[in-house]
């Protein structure tokens, strides 16, 4: 099965993307992300700077801590979020077991069936 890490070489970047895309409204500081990813602080800092330089993350200083959060206005945010949904959690299980599940017409991440319009 295809994984996000197949496309993105940096394992630290993949871990950070999973954290930020799964919780787009949360703010994280460097040491917190180091604990969550179980990666070296310099590798985490390097990837945070990269993700900020491409526009996916923004930073905000609060006291003596620099917090990072997801910029949901990033042009590829929806696509990255969809990739994450397909490669983790329920999306991963649906893809893995699709032959046993049969025909699935809709699988929702952010919307409800009532949000769909016919036409």
First vs last C-alpha separation in the chain: 34
CATH number of the domain within which 50 lies: 1.10.10.10
User: What is the per-residue pLDDT for 119?
Assistant: 38
Report the DSSP pairing between strands 65-70 and 57-62.
antiparallel
Find the mean pLDDT for residues 49-57: 94
The single-letter DSSP state of residue 62 is E
- Which residues constitute the domain of residue 26? 1-111
Strands, E, within 1-119: which ranges? 28-29, 57-62, 65-70
Per the structure, how many domains does the chain have? 1
Span 6-29, pLDDT tens digits: 557 899 999 999 999 989 999 999
Domain assignment present for residue 118? The answer is: no
User: Is 42's pLDDT higher than 70?
Assistant: yes
């Amino acid at each position: 099965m295809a994984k996000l890490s197949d496309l993105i070489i940096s394992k630290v970047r993949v871990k950070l993307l999973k954290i930020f895309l799964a919780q787009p409204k949360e703010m994280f500081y460097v040491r917190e992300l180091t604990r969550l990813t179980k990666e070296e602080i310099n590798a985490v800092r390097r990837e945070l700077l990269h993700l900020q330089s491409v526009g996916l993350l923004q930073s905000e200083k609060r006291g003596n801590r620099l917090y990072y959060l997801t910029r949901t206005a990033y042009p590829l945010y929806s696509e990255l979020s969809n990739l994450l949904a397909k490669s983790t959690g329920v999306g991963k299980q649906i893809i893995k077991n699709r032959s046993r599940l049969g025909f699935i017409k809709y699988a929702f991440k952010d919307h409800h069936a009532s949000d769909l319009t016919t036409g």
